[in-house]
Amino acid sequence: MRPLLLLLSVALVLTGCEHEPFRAIGGKGGNATLNVYPSHHGVTAPLDSMVVYIKYDAEDVPANGVYDDSATCTYINSLPSCTFSGLTNGNYYLYSKGYDYNISARVKGGIPYTVKLQSAQNVNLPVGEESL
């Protein structure tokens, strides 16, 4: 009788618990690298003073406007780009702002991005005209 009672107790404990599925939390501590390329209507050459901000473990603009890190774009082969390295798998929100000389106006924009692999990844970050 005791082995049956023990078996029933173990079965009840194992089936009575529900666990949330594992969810990767974006942040520092991994080996992923994001190479971010801002562009306005697919064009990058006239962009200047572009800064990219990143929010860890987020899929939308942070409500308080505070980001976890930022990087100023430099030009590599005539493309403005910046890099965020040492990231874990998970969700991130990328936001960029700067100036477009073709339209003589400030531009900005953001997108959610999910890191699924611990490798270097290229991210195209579209920006649009800033509304006043």
Torsion of CA 80, 84, 85, 90, to 10 degrees: -130
| Count of structural domains, the chain | 1
57 lies in a domain?
yes
Prediction pTM value:
0.81
Which pLDDT does position 102 carry in this prediction?
A: 87
CATH code where residue 59 lies = 2.60.40.10
11 lies in a domain?
no
125 lies in a domain?
yes
SS3 category, 117: coil
Which pLDDT does position 19 carry in this prediction?
A: 60
Instruction: Quote the CA–CA distance of 126 and 75 in Å, as a whole number.
Output: 17
Q: Domain span at residue 30?
A: 23-129
Instruction: Quote the CA–CA distance of 72 and 64 in Å, as a whole number.
Output: 21
Given pLDDT bands bounded at 50, 70 and 90, which one contains residue 2?
Answer: low
Which pLDDT does position 130 carry in this prediction?
A: 81
Given pLDDT bands bounded at 50, 70 and 90, which one contains residue 4?
Answer: low
Express each pLDDT in 73-117 by its tens digit: 999 888 899 999 999 999 999 999 999 988 899 999 999 999 999
Which pLDDT does position 11 carry in this prediction?
A: 59
